[in-house]
Amino acid sequence: MGLSIVTGRRLMTEDAVHVVHRFVDRLSAKDWDAFATTLHEDVERVGPYADVVSGRSRYVEFLAGVLEGQPDYALVMRRVTWSADQRVAFAEVTERVVVDGRLMEYPEVLAFELDTAGLITRVGVYTMRPGSAASRHADRFFEQRGEARARE
């Protein structure tokens, strides 16, 4: 039997504690059967463009279709931060994807909600796009003031 963690009103198994890591690992490996075991049947995914995919089978189908032409795709875990009751987790990840023949890296935060069984019920995807006009906002602010770059 695995490790158990008692948190206030609930008992979480080791499997539930590691569900976010399995989600990222199995997504990166495109192991769709194992990936699906991390998800509640009625999971909801809200993407970076407020696009919504509902249901485990549709979510898996969506990701498999999107990543079908991405042999070099990877999702790299940086860290996971949990709420006190371990029902909410925030994972900082880097998504590696080929765009126009170039390998690109995008920092992201994935926001997870879990049920009491430790299955993922909701995934929010928050993507940063380095080099975009929005990512240069702070630089423009300081340039207008005649100061050094924001990153210095």
Query: In CATH, what number is assigned to the domain containing residue 27?
Result: 3.10.450.50
Whether residue 117 has pLDDT greater than 70 = yes
Residue 74 domain-assigned (yes or no):
yes
- List pLDDT tens digits, range 71-112: 999 999 999 999 988 899 999 999 999 988 999 999 999 999
Residue 95 domain-assigned (yes or no):
yes
- Mean pLDDT for the stretch of residues 2-26: 65
Average per-residue pLDDT in the chain?
A: 85
Residue 152 domain-assigned (yes or no):
no
Lowest mean pLDDT among 1-5, 109-113, 124-128, 132-136: 1-5
- Mean pLDDT for the stretch of residues 14-18: 67
Whether residue 132 has pLDDT greater than 70 = no
CB-based contact 2:14 (threshold 8 Å): yes
- Determine if residue 120 is left, alpha or beta; phi over 0 gives left, psi from -120 to 50 gives alpha, anything else beta: beta
More confident residue, 60 or 4: 60
CB-based contact 120:19 (threshold 8 Å): yes
pLDDT at site 138: 67
Whether residue 147 has pLDDT greater than 90 = no
pLDDT at site 6: 40
- List pLDDT tens digits, range 27-46: 999 999 999 999 999 999 99
* Residue 42 C-alpha from the chain's centroid: 18
Residue 126 domain-assigned (yes or no):
yes
Domain hosting 30: range is 4-144
How far from 36 is each of 15, 64, 98, 119, 140, CA to CA, in Å? 14, 11, 24, 10, 43
Q: How many domains does the chain have?
A: 1
Residue 44 domain-assigned (yes or no):
yes
Residue 150 domain-assigned (yes or no):
no
Nearest to 89 by CA among 3, 1, 9, 12: 12
**Helices H / strands E in the chain, number of each:** 5, 8
Residue 151 domain-assigned (yes or no):
no
Whether residue 54 has pLDDT greater than 90 = yes
